[in-house]
Amino acid sequence: MRASGPKPAARRADLSASKPSNQAKVTPRRAATPVPEPGSAFLKQAGRTTVGLAAGAAIVGGLVAGTAQPASANVAHKAPTLHQGDSGAMVVRLQRELSANGKNVPDTGYFGSQTKARVNALKARHGWRQNGIAGYRVWNVLLHDGHSVSSPSLVHKSSTKHKSKAKHAKKAKVVSSKAELKALKYAKAHLGDSYVYGAAGPHSFDCSGLTMAAYKSAGIKLAHNSTTQYRQVRHVSKSNLRLGDLVFFYGGRSHVAIYAGHGKVIHAGEPGQPIEYIKMKYMPYNGAGRPA
């Protein structure tokens, strides 16, 4: 027996009961449209289109990232590693980058406590060890934070190395010869020995006797007379002194000593005084020479 009451409507009747009106056909393309049912052909097609667009965007983005990132990374590699106490143009650049990235740092050109604190604050944000050193990772963040700082220009590592080599080459020019170092070593070994006029060792010396014996130990002959020794050596300027050079004092160059560095000489001064170090400024300078 059939149940009484209203009959249930067919589940898909509303979708096929009538055709769309002409007015619906001319609805503008950008007008609101019903949400398609799950599984409909329209939704499947829209999904494929969305995926296609996303994939295309990813490819384009990858191409951009693939071409731009290496160049940007190279910029960070040009930057020098900076520590507290450093100064110069690269510190100015670091301070300007830090100011553009956050709290202002005066671009004094000196890496002081304030600059160190800002570097550590940046490192703390990234979970890095806060050692106050501005290295590659710090520069990489600052150079890619979207803020433009262009001066001073970053120094290439090759240029830094070149300057370092030139600096070492300059230092090499003032390195003492083996003979000079041996003579200086001899003089140091006799510190405390007594002054005796006319003596040249082995346990007492006068001024030229000490320098003569010192260079004799290195295989170089010198006269037992300070004035004559000045004529025997190649003369050098006071600003170009190196360890082991002979330094002459007083009128007539009546006194001679061996340069020991830092403005000091080793000499046999006078009777009653031991062979000792003394500052050059305590005696009237009157020339210098290089036996070797």
The pLDDT of residue 135 is 87
The pLDDT of residue 239 is 92
**pTM beyond 0.75, yes or no:** no
Burial of 286 (0-12, 13-18, 19+ CB in 10 A): middle
Cα 147 to Cα 119: distance, rounded to the nearest angstrom: 17
Work out the average pLDDT over 207-232: 96
Domains, in order of start, for the chain: 69-159 (1.10.101.10), 178-290 (3.90.1720.10)
Grade residue 155 by pLDDT with cuts at 50, 70 and 90.
Answer: low
84 versus 210: which is more confidently predicted?
Answer: 210
CA atoms within 13 Å, Cβ hemisphere of 244: 25
Cα dihedral sign for 91, 97, 99, 102? negative
Grade residue 268 by pLDDT with cuts at 50, 70 and 90.
Answer: very high
- The answer to whether residue 68 scores a pLDDT higher than 80 is no
Work out the average pLDDT over 41-58: 48
pLDDT digits (tens, 9 = 90+) for 97-109: 898 888 788 888 8
Mean pLDDT of all residues belonging to the chain:
77
Cα 264 to Cα 249: distance, rounded to the nearest angstrom: 13
Residue 227: CB partners within 8 Å, gap ≥ 6? 252, 253, 254
pLDDT digits (tens, 9 = 90+) for 200-213: 989 999 999 999 99
- The answer to whether residue 77 scores a pLDDT higher than 90 is no
Cα 125 to Cα 261: distance, rounded to the nearest angstrom: 49
The pLDDT of residue 85 is 85
Grade residue 121 by pLDDT with cuts at 50, 70 and 90.
Answer: very high
